[in-house]
């Protein structure tokens, strides 16, 4: 993350694309490395890493996003650069309460989403009459007979889910 903060040290507003290109050059990435895509095929690896670095530093108050796709160093970001840290990583960012709040909120939302996904999956499976698969290891299957819906619960022995039969007669 430190290279991105240093890149933004000019105090000027920078496009994220500009930062990606500059950091790829700084790291001397080959054309092949620059064009390597994530498994999703939606974004290159370097674009993804720079975007996450920007997000984390924004949450810590080191960068701001004056408009979509742009970044700008904050006074806190300048103060960090004056400290001349050897590196900036998640542990370093945890000294900032806003970043800790962000991490805590992310984990709470993930837990809430898993619970909602379980409940919603049961409703969907019963209403649609077809198989439903959700991310995060939760699966729901509905038989063709309306009264034979299945519910799920997390398996205590694994990260997956087990199917439990539930009848609505």
Residue ranges of domains in the chain: 2-95, 108-165
Q: 125 versus 55: which is more confidently predicted? A: 55
105 pLDDT band, cuts 50/70/90, is confident
Q: Is the pLDDT of residue 169 over 50?
A: no
User: Helices marked H in 16-167 — which ranges?
Assistant: 16-26, 31-34, 45-59, 75-83, 90-93, 97-128
For the domain bounded by 2-95, which CATH number is listed?
Answer: 1.10.10
pLDDT at residue 121, rounded to an integer: 52
Are the CB atoms for 53 and 44 separated by under 8 Å? no
Give the pLDDT confidence of 40-84 residue by residue, as tens digits: 999 999 999 999 999 999 999 999 999 999 999 999 999 999 999
Q: Is the pTM of this model over 0.75?
A: no
Give the position of tokens 């998640």.
90
């Amino acid at each position: 993350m430190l290279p991105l903060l240093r890149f933004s040290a000019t105090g000027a507003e920078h496009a994220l694309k500009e930062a990606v290109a500059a950091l790829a050059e700084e790291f001397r990435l080959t054309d092949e490395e620059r064009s390597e895509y994530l498994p999703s095929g939606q974004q290159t690896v370097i674009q993804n890493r720079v975007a996450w670095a920007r997000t984390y530093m924004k949450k810590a108050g080191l960068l701001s996003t004056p408009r979509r796709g742009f970044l700008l160093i904050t006074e806190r970001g300048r103060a960090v650069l004056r400290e001349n840290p050897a590196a900036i990583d998640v542990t370093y960012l945890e000294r900032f309460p806003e970043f800790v709040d962000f991490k805590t909120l992310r984990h709470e939302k993930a837990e809430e989403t898993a619970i909602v996904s379980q409940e919603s999956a049961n409703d969907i499976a019963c209403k649609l009459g077809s198989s439903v698969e959700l991310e995060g290891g939760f699966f729901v299957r509905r038989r063709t007979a309306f009264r034979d819906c299945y519910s799920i619960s997390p398996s205590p022995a694994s990260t997956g889910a087990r199917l439990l039969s539930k009848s609505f007669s």
